[in-house]
Amino acid sequence: MTPTTTKKPTKSRPAAKLERSPARVEEILKRFSAAYPKAVCALTHRNAWELLVATILSAQCTDVRVNMVTPTLFNLFPTPQSLADAKLEAIEQVIHSTGFYRNKAKNIQGAAQTILKNFGGRVPKTMEELLQLPGVARKTANVVLGVAYKRAEGIVVDTHVYRIARRLGLSKAATPEKVEQDLIKIIPQERWIAISHELILHGRALCIARRPKCSECPLNDLCKARDKTA
């Protein structure tokens, strides 16, 4: 993530008409839960530190690619201290294939240094503190809080969540940050973590950007997206 912010989507298709009644939202959540009962974060990690780094690397890069890179990265630099002390060129070489590797290398090393200096070597557990780390914006912070610490302080809005929220008429906002604010107003907090994973999986499997697989979608009858397919 170039820095790790959620890039504002460009040339977004017009959003569907807003339909945010409690009954409709409840039905949508029920169907997502049934369709993706085992939805979890796709980034391989063993602790909050590895999840933080993997999430920073995942900006404008697939999780599959990140999962190919991080085993080598964490073998060479297993702790914040080792990454903070590493030569930047060595980090860049390992993460080169994730794209934007120079900025990402600076961000993950900067995050390591800040964690050591300000947080006793531990990945912080609050949104306010996480946002102090280089390369971390709300999307990354929400991933770490929800997955590593089981704390629901927001909803992860990546390109998939952004697209689906607009297609389903849950938001017409033009930025991920505003889409998140729309979603947290209508989705119960106890569902914030799970729905993030469910929407991301749905976006990868069926509600893809071009020619979504609407005939296979469990929410087809509830969706009035302007780019629905037959």
50 and 121 in contact (C-beta within 8 Å)?
Answer: no
Residue 168: name the closest of 123, 118, 206, 113 by CA. Answer: 206
Task: List the catalytic residue out of 139, 178, 227, 228.
Answer: 139
Q: What whole-number distance in Å separates Cα of residue 73 and Cα of residue 147? A: 21
What are residue 160's phi and psi, to 5 degrees? Answer: -70, -50
Among 125, 158, 178, 185, which one carries the catalytic annotation? 158
Is 17 known to be catalytic? no
Q: Which two tokens stand for residue 31?
A: 């169907």
Number of CB atoms found within 10 A of residue 77's CB: 21
Q: Is 139 known to be catalytic?
A: yes
Type of residue found at 15 = A
Give the residue numbers annotated as catalytic, written as ranges: 139, 158
